[in-house]
Structure 1
Amino acid sequence: MQHDEKPLLLFVDDDPDVQSAARLLFRHRGLEIVCAHDAQSALTQLATHAIDLVLLDLNYSRGATSGAEGLALLKDMLVLRPELPVVVVTGHSGVAIAVAAMRAGARDFVMKPWNNERLAKLIEKMLANRPVERETATEPAMIVASAALERIVAEADRLAPTRAPIVICGPAGSGKTLLARRIFALSRDAGSEILIRAEDCNALPKEQGNWLIRDVEALTPTIQRQLADSLERTVPPRVIALTSHDWSALEARFDPSLMLHLGMVVLTMPPLDQRPDDIVALITHFAHYFATRHGLPEPDVDDACLASLKTAVWPQNVRSLRARVERAVLTGTWQVPSREQHGKVGGPTTLHETEHLLIETALRKHGFNVTKAARELGLTRPALYRRMARYGL
């Protein structure tokens, strides 16, 4: 079967001259290319576009030669797209680091300065076997810029290869589900998870594997005991439980036998207003994503606007910020009032207004398909219908 669209490459390199040379080489051969200059912009491009292959330099900071930045990015990309073909492009790091990258999942490597003909033939050979159905990560990238989130992600990565059950606490929209799926992707038995909504759970799955339990505090006492029994098995399921409650509140709700298992590892995601560096990074990420998706320019963000966004109130954390950035892309303005007016960013300023905006945005995104919108919002269909009636949607 023929591919109707040109293959799309992502080239990650901090040198604009090298990027320009790559663009000329591949466009001359009928291949489209997008470029990124560091790990964050690379993940944004991967989440935005249907990338067929990545050319990955291993160093982005001035003077860096260890290849550590590129190896970390390689892991992040393969979390999003496990089958993504990655070709490492290395100069300063040398062959040893390139070989380490291949052990970590890269398909091949080339040395700088490359030979145009040999590089082009290698890429064409690898693209010959690309799937007919193009795949895109469509925005699940975990953007990490703050030291607080870096520490949590590092601990999650360390624990991912184990079988330990993990509880992830944190307010709604703080990134608990993304962190859980990263752990599953890096686990020994990587694969799709079985989603369990605790409030609707009348029986646990018969299948073993990866169980993602949302709102774990809503499990009934009977299901709690069944879950404890499941975790006692010789080969238990890999359980990651999510909750907006803090751990002390869970202790009062959980069966003591279940506490023995779930109390081993607890990770806590801080709210977005405690992670200003993540706010800045996410604004850049979502602005590019929604501008590309809607075919509109990215809205400018001046220093005053950025300062207001960094100190704004985000009732639904990353979800609120995501919706706010999409609105800015659609309207072409951030509509930031003076501090005398509100002391924070314009638009939704209460939980009621923010929820209304999030629900309306999700419904419009999915053409008012309630099932798809409810899935994105983490709600049941009846719960979404109730909110739609409340807001006249």
Structure 2
Amino acid sequence: MPSTPPHILVLDDKLDICLSLEYILSKKGFRVSYAQTIEQGLLEDRNGNPDLVLMDMNYTSDTTSGSDGLALLKKLRERNPDRAIVVMTAWSNTELIVQSMKLGAADFIEKPWQNQRLFQILEQQIKLQNLEKSKQGLAQQLAEQSSTEILWHSPAMKKVMQQVERVSETDASVLILGENGTGKSSLAKYIYNLSPRRDKNLVSVNMGAIPDDLFESEMFGHIKGAFTDAKSDRIGRFSIAHEGTLLLDEIANMSMMQQSKLLRVLESGEYEAVGSSTTQHANVRLICATNAELRTLIEEKIFREDLYYRINTFEVTMPPLRERREDISLLATHFVNLHSKKYNRPAPKIKPSAVSALEGYRWSGNVRELSHVMERAVLLCSSETIDREVLNITPVPSQASNHPLTTLAEAESSLIIKSLEKTDGCTAEAAKILGLSTSALYRRMEKYQIKYG
């Protein structure tokens, strides 16, 4: 779907100036409206909500001092302090320009203008404004992210958090490993919030969702006209995260081509936007996360060993929930309070019988699954307490004594076959049961020569 062209409001008391600007700016792809008086201009601004205002500084009551223009500029800035305003005047008046800039004008241009310079100024201001909107969006996202809590008092998590707190204050690259749903993203945000870069952007990227042909554009950006669909400049993730933190999630799902391009940037610290010959410098703190066994993927020639050593200056593994059962009650209470607030309901108490059921469950989906179970319990609970019936989960009894000792490879192969049988060959569901990504399951099926269906 094509993006809406930027809306420019032209304010000038001369009709021929307004019409001339409307013509040349429309030809450049802008949407243009204009007004000839201060009153009309304020009304057009209120109704049209323009992206940028291009305004004259001299109106009929005073053709030289710019006092009308300064008053109008002040009102426009009070209405929308984030919107760019470019001032223009037929008088080369340095003092007036200085006053305008002090009141918040983004730039200025003198009449008669040069089209090339006019276009350059307007396009630059629109681009800067779009970037600022992106940053505001990221700031809002960050405000939401900062509320993410990591709750624990288990020995397994104590060890992890002690390590993390030491490394958070540095710029060292961090690799977070762990099963699906263990809270790898939450740990990444925790590291970010403790880091010296916490006042800058945290940019998260799902690396498994980027196709090869869009990888460079997504990560490094592109310039207008770089390829057929490049209708405007695009800022890449490295640029948005400049001086901040870049979180690359699902990094094991990158193709070999993507891995080589990422490695080049990490080794050289430099990159170019697609279609540009200007070299930019990467200045980010890198955090990567995956549920895959990267060392196995390296042996299988699926993941580059040199990239692995670039991203794992510090490596930490989030333990599965079954290895931190001491935290289950604490986390369950947290999720009950969180989801009760979400649905505007009073938070019910969790009965001891329900706590026992939670602690006896296997939690193949880990913390994420626990959150979903407690959300469902909040919705189904009809009293002030949550009992084990509302949870609708069945503790899994230990069956270790029924199985003879076997090799890890045989055990893994057997589990994969059983999961596929249980899901009638649906690899996505089988992967979910096993706590793997679908691509990781396919790799193991190929490794053990398992064919199903």
- Of the two, which has the highest radius of gyration? 2
Q: Give the TM-score normalised by the residue count of structure 1.
A: 0.49
Structure 2 length as normaliser, TM-score?
0.43
